[in-house]
Structure formats: C-alpha cells, structure tokens
Structure 1
Amino acid sequence: MKTRAAIAIAPETDLEIREVEVDEPRADELRVRMVASGVCHTDAIIRDQWYPVPLPVVLGHEGAGIVEAMGSDVQGFAEGDKVVIGPAFCGRCEQCLAGHPMYCVNFYDRNFGVQRPDGSKSFSDAQGPIGSHFFGQSSFAELTNVVAHGAVKVPDGVPLEILGPLGCGIMTGSGAVLNVLQPQPGSSIAVFGTGAVGMAGMLAAKAAGATTIIMVDIVPERLDFAKELGATHTVNSKETDPVEAIKEITGGGANFALDTTGVPPVFSQMTQSLATRGHGALVGAAKLGTEAPFAIGNLLLTGIKVSMVIEGDAVPKEFIPRLVSLHARGLFPFDKLIKKYPFEDINRAFADSADGSTLKPVIVF
C-alpha cells in the first residue's frame, strides 16, 4: 500500500516527504492512519545522529491516529479505534514484568533499531528499504504499522490532534513528577527548563498539589508563560544564581527538582538546589558519554536522591488515560503548549522547536 512519509536522510538536513510503500502489519501489529504526531527533541537528535541510528528512516514517536487493520494475534482492538502510541518494549523481561516497561532491557533495540526484531522494515521505495518502527511506530507517515502493545485506546470524544505528545514528551515530564518524584500537597519543586517537558512537569506538580513551583530558564518570555500556567516563582538563571534563588524562595532548598535540559552545569545546579533528603530527577537527553559535575563532598551530608528517568517511568496503558482524564477535568491543560502544523510544514516545525519559538509542535495530517 502506498503512503506519504517524511524521511530523515542525513544529519542537519531537512526531512524529505516521499511516497513510499508500507507493507502489511505483522501478527502483533496494528496499521494506523495517523491523525497527528508531535515533534520531539529526540527526533531532531536522531536525525542529527547523536545516537547511531541507521539512515534513511521515518522518525516520529508521538503519534495519534485511527486503527485501520490488525494483525492476526492482536486482541483488544477494533477497526476505527482511536489510539495514542507509546514506546515499544518486549513485555517479557524482568523490568517489563515488574511494571517498568520504559526500562525494558530491550528498550534500545525496540525503539532505536528502526526495524522489526526479525530485521524487516515496514517502508520502502525505489531506492530500497527505509527504517521503520522508530519507537515502535515511525509516526511521520500517513499510514504506519505499529507494535500493538504500545498503542493505547482513548475515548471517541477526545481530540486526537492534540494527544500524540502524551506518548513521549508530555508523558516524560509529567511522569517524572507523578510517578517518580511524587510531590506531596504543600511541597516545593524546582523545574529546570521551560520547554514542553518542563512545562508538563510543572503542570503535573500543580495537579499533585505542590504549592511552591519554581521554573528556571534563561528565556524571559518562557518564564512569563510558565507564570501564566501556574508557576509560583520564576528564576532567570542568566541573571541570577538559581541555587541561591531557590534556597531563598524555599527557606533552604526544594523538596523536589527536575532537570529537563541534559546540560551538565544545570544538572549540578539541580542537585545543589535540593533540600536535605530532597529528590531530583534527570530527564534531559545528552550525547552518549556526557559527564556532569556531582559535588559529592558537598552533597554527602544532604541525603539527597537523584533518579535518571526514561519516559516518566510510565506504564502507557495506565498513565496516558490518567493524563487524558486530568485534561478533561481542566487539571492538566497541556494543550496550551501545542502549536499545529500541516504535514507539509514538518521542517518548519523542527526549526521552530529548535529556536524555541514553539514549545510543542504537532504535525496534523
């Protein structure tokens, strides 16, 4: 079957929209007609080869769409179901069985291998096979085959065109807060970075009842927007030492902190801004081999805990419906982070994400 797909062909090069062939879904797959897909920082860093993912490849991993066909072994889905698609995982390793599929021991191969476990690829054109199954979905295509266990059914009445980012970026920020940090009502949290992931973390902290929510960034407009969405304090770390500011605001340090940047000096600031026995989490991606300063001589007596968090340590089939429900009740207005782009403008969406003019671009097919 023919479809259109946006293909990454080389680092720091625009994606090419081409007509390609998409094969039949395998026994454990769904064919999904995409309605929309978020554009995530991870798509950009894979295009630019921060990680050695084979090119050419159809990227995209925040897809939302409608089921058109099902493989012979798929249960629990029907044609016409609306789905949001989360990451792939094996479902059989010790981490999957323990309820932590985002730490699947096969996570890298299943999400960055850009092929099925048997080595086959879903897309091809006259030039040959094209990488598929990025995060189990390759959602920058009008039609794509996805791993069924990564798909999450959502109610008919919800707006699919905004839900895709719940499968990665929004899930990452909110899950790091709700699933890992778990701030108590009345607690304090500092969030470093006001991109979509950081803003999602902030909205989640507000929904959880945190009453001191400090956003740290160097872009005044982003900080102002964070204040509009519910931050109680903002710190421009270009003008003010964020560690000193956070300790002054909280009277000694934040109970919780989240680094969404992956920038080594920012990670260090996060650890130093925590209160005694505080808990910090890192979700920001960095190049392989990146090291960050960790002042163990200063921090030993603080008893702090630091977690490295992938995809919000979520179980997507449980967590995404929670976020949909919170949004429906007006408690998690993540839609305010989104700007929509037609599929043909996908490269403009990448550029606007890179320069910060758009928090969360969403491609609409």
Structure 2
Amino acid sequence: MVEVKAAVVREKGGRFLIEQLQLDEPRHNELLIKIVATGVRHTDMVVRDQNYPVPLPMVLGHEGAGIVEKVGEDVTAFEVGDHVVLSYGSCGLCRNCEQGRPSYCVEFYDRNFKGDRLDGSHCHHTHAGEKVGGSFFSQSSFSSYALVTERNAVKIRKDVPLDIMGPLGCGIQTGAGAVINVLKPEPASSMVIFGAGAVGLAAALAAMAIGVTNIIMVDVNESRLAFAKELGVTHVINSRETDPVKAVKNLTGEGSDYSLECTGRPQVLRQAVDVLRVPGLCGLLGAAPMGAEATLDVNTLLFGRTVRGIIEGDSVPTVFIPQLIELWRAGRFPFDKLIEFFTLDDINEALEASESGRVFKPIVRL
C-alpha cells in the first residue's frame, strides 16, 4: 500500500476533507504517479453536488500532472521519471476508440465516473479498512499519488513547467479542441462563445491561435468579460444587460458562423442556436444536470443549422496535448494567464474561487 494525502468528499454538497488514505500498489497494467499539481474543474463540483450520481465518499480530481513513480509489469510506453499529464479514461478497443474518437468510448462512464476499477475493486482505503471511491477519470488526482492506465497518461517534454500542465488534460483541452478539432472555423468567420470560464476562454485562445478575426464572448460577469477583452476577443456582451441574440445580429449582420455553449444552462443553449446564421454550427460543451432538457425552434434547425455535442474537445490526448504545449511554447496559446495556485489544504477555497468567478482556473499544488 502507498500512503497518500487526499481530498475526500463524503456527503452531497459537502466540503472536501483532507485525509490520510492507503492506495493500492500498481497492478500489472497500471502506473503510480506522484502528483505535482491538479486543476480544479466544474465537473468536480458537479459530482460533489451529486448532479451526476457518482457514489460517495470519493477522491475526485481529474486534471492531474505528475511524475511516473512505478510502472506495472505490462506497461511498455512509460518508465520511472517520465513527466505526464493525466486525461480521461477510454478502452482503446471499441469502434469509437479504434476510429480515433476515444472521448466517445462505449465504456466512458465506467472508466471515468463509476468510482472504482472496471472489475469493481477500490484502490483507495482508510486505515480502518473503509473503501473510498476513486479511479475518477481513471486518476483521482486530488491526492499526493494516483493510479492510472497507459491510455490516460500522456508523456510530455520535461522542459516545461509541470505544475501548470494538468488542465490540458480536460478543461483546456475541451475548449481548445472544440474549436481546433470540431468547429474548424475559417479565419474570416465569426464565433460566439457563451461562458467566459476556463473552457470558454480556452476556446477563445484557440480561435485566436488559428487566426479567427471575429470572436464574441457572452457572460454575465463584467470582470470576466473585461479579462476576455484583454486576452484579445473582439467583442463582449453582458447577457444580463443585453439580449445576446439581438446584439450578435447587430454585430454580424445575419448572425454568427459558429457558436459554443459552455455554461450548461438550457436557456443559454437556445441563445447559442438562435445567434447562428444559415447554416451555422453550435457546439455544446456545458455540463448540465442529468435530465436537463432544452427547447429549440424546429424551423431554426430546418435551415441547415447544426447542434453538435462535444466531449473532451474530440481530442486524442496523446496527440492533442503535445500540440497545445507547442502552441503555448510559441506564445500563441497563453492558457497560463488563467491560472492561480492553491495548496491541497486550501482546496475548498480553490473551489469557492472558481464558483464565484474570482479565479478562472485554480490549480492545486501537491
């Protein structure tokens, strides 16, 4: 057993408790990662609040970055000392995985939200023998050590600061991938992004990186909109004060070519579709509570408009994360401007800072 310090959620909506746990030694196909830092993500809060029915108690965290400490006997792609970013779990064998679409793996839920290994075993325990849920996104990285698989660990170069790289494994990858891998906007096109959080801002940075000239950011938080403007978006709209559909059409004439919904609010999805010109494309990224429904005008879709759900930016992490790192090194994707650091002991403060909008991307240093 490996002694770990971890943040544990024990009840719906409860605070994260810092506990000493025991973590299994790596099995033949697993890696033990010493976590250096991990990003705080909206999905961690969604599970804490039980909007997704993940069993508690649980060690969350799914934007980890760290150093390979041990490898199982069947692991061939990594060795001790490698620097890695941790992303989501996938099987690698289903049709979607084989077609290069692992974020739509048929085992996605079980490998990322089930709370234990696929065989039902738990890798976290208290010293009294209580089972504690883990394997969250095949990592549970709100902990000093994590067990992962070869498929959700991404080897990265050692000359970049490891403590800022974790968010590339989920939130930053999601926003940037939605633009680069899915929407693929033309430089002269227009794009409206609903939600100026880390995902929405990552999308904006990616759009700038590939030369999109007309980027409109919609939010209700003036300070976030001001920051988006500083980053380089061309227009900002406070939807608390202005009808975003009318505002976008005033700015673009006939509507936007592309839109992204990053808030998880059904009424905002309606706006994200209604701002589109014919035949625009809306990407849906926001995580809504289970069972949430949205209402759309059928005739709006009839004229060629498309709504496209996007998980993890349609990314193959081993390919896309190194690409994002190179864009960052070239100064074209400054996602580090979104980051503020916290300690593991201050994880609840990090969560509150994210929920309040004070911090775009909190990172917990281990």
TM-score, normalised via structure 2 length: 0.98
Matched, 1:175 2:177: yes
Given that 2:77 and 2:150 are in contact with CA atoms closer than 8 Å, whether structure 1 keeps it comes out as no
Separation (CA, whole Å) in 1 of partners of 2:352 and 2:159: 32
CA shift for structure 1 position 63: 0.2
Given that 1:138 and 1:144 are in contact with CA atoms closer than 8 Å, whether structure 2 keeps it comes out as yes
Amino acid at match of 1:273: V
- Partner of residue 73, structure 2: 72
Q: Which runs of 5+ in 2 are unaligned?
A: none
Separation (CA, whole Å) in 2 of partners of 1:342 and 1:219: 26
Amino acid at match of 2:214: T
- Partner of residue 14, structure 2: 13
CA shift for structure 1 position 297: 2.5
* Superimposed CA distance per residue, residues 63-107 of structure 1 (whole angstroms, 9 cap, x where no aligned partner): 000000001111111111000000000110010011000000110
Amino acid at match of 2:361: K
CA shift for structure 1 position 27: 1.4
CA shift for structure 1 position 12: 1.3
| 1:255-270 map, 5 Å | 255-270=257-272
CA shift for structure 1 position 300: 1.7
- Partner of residue 357, structure 2: 356
- Partner of residue 339, structure 2: 338
Which of 233, 236, 241 does residue 234 from structure 1 map onto? 236
Given that 2:216 and 2:235 are in contact with CA atoms closer than 8 Å, whether structure 1 keeps it comes out as yes
Q: Helix, strand or coil for the counterpart of 1:64?
A: strand
- Partner of residue 57, structure 1: 58
CA shift for structure 1 position 249: 1.0
For structure 1, which segment, 20-29 or 322-331, has the greater mean C-alpha deviation from structure 2 after superposition? Answer: 20-29
Amino acid at match of 2:305: I
| 1:135-214 map, 5 Å | 135-214=137-216
Separation (CA, whole Å) in 1 of partners of 2:332 and 2:27: 39
Amino acid at match of 1:17: I
- Partner of residue 109, structure 1: 110
Separation (CA, whole Å) in 2 of partners of 1:148 and 1:116: 14
Separation (CA, whole Å) in 2 of partners of 1:49 and 1:299: 33
Q: Helix, strand or coil for the counterpart of 1:32?
A: strand
CA shift for structure 1 position 171: 0.6
* Superimposed CA distance per residue, residues 173-222 of structure 1 (whole angstroms, 9 cap, x where no aligned partner): 11111111111112110000000000001001111111000000111111
Separation (CA, whole Å) in 1 of partners of 2:262 and 2:301: 21
Given that 2:258 and 2:280 are in contact with CA atoms closer than 8 Å, whether structure 1 keeps it comes out as yes
Given that 1:30 and 1:145 are in contact with CA atoms closer than 8 Å, whether structure 2 keeps it comes out as yes
Q: Helix, strand or coil for the counterpart of 1:226?
A: helix
Separation (CA, whole Å) in 2 of partners of 1:184 and 1:56: 46
| 1:36-47 map, 5 Å | 36-47=37-48
Aligned residues with identical type, % of pairs: 51
CA shift for structure 1 position 144: 1.3
Amino acid at match of 1:266: V
CA shift for structure 1 position 338: 0.7
Separation (CA, whole Å) in 1 of partners of 2:136 and 2:284: 23
Q: Helix, strand or coil for the counterpart of 2:6?
A: strand
Given that 1:121 and 1:132 are in contact with CA atoms closer than 8 Å, whether structure 2 keeps it comes out as yes
User: What's the RMSD between the two structures over aligned residues?
Assistant: 0.8
Structure 1 residue runs of 4 or more that deviate by more than 6 Å after TM superposition: none
Q: Helix, strand or coil for the counterpart of 1:149?
A: coil
Separation (CA, whole Å) in 2 of partners of 1:32 and 1:249: 49
- Partner of residue 85, structure 1: 86
Separation (CA, whole Å) in 1 of partners of 2:307 and 2:196: 20
Given that 2:124 and 2:133 are in contact with CA atoms closer than 8 Å, whether structure 1 keeps it comes out as yes
For structure 1, which segment, 147-156 or 30-39, has the greater mean C-alpha deviation from structure 2 after superposition? Answer: 147-156
Amino acid at match of 1:355: S
- Partner of residue 121, structure 1: 122
* Superimposed CA distance per residue, residues 147-179 of structure 1 (whole angstroms, 9 cap, x where no aligned partner): 221100111111111110001110111111111
Aligned pairs, number: 364
* Superimposed CA distance per residue, residues 252-301 of structure 1 (whole angstroms, 9 cap, x where no aligned partner): 11111100011111100000101111111010000111011111134422
* Superimposed CA distance per residue, residues 96-128 of structure 1 (whole angstroms, 9 cap, x where no aligned partner): 011000000110011001111111111101151
Q: Helix, strand or coil for the counterpart of 2:260?
A: strand
- Partner of residue 311, structure 2: 310
Given that 1:187 and 1:209 are in contact with CA atoms closer than 8 Å, whether structure 2 keeps it comes out as no
- Partner of residue 99, structure 2: 98
- Partner of residue 253, structure 2: 251
Amino acid at match of 2:184: Q
- Partner of residue 330, structure 2: 329
Amino acid at match of 2:222: P
Q: Which runs of 5+ in 1 are unaligned?
A: none
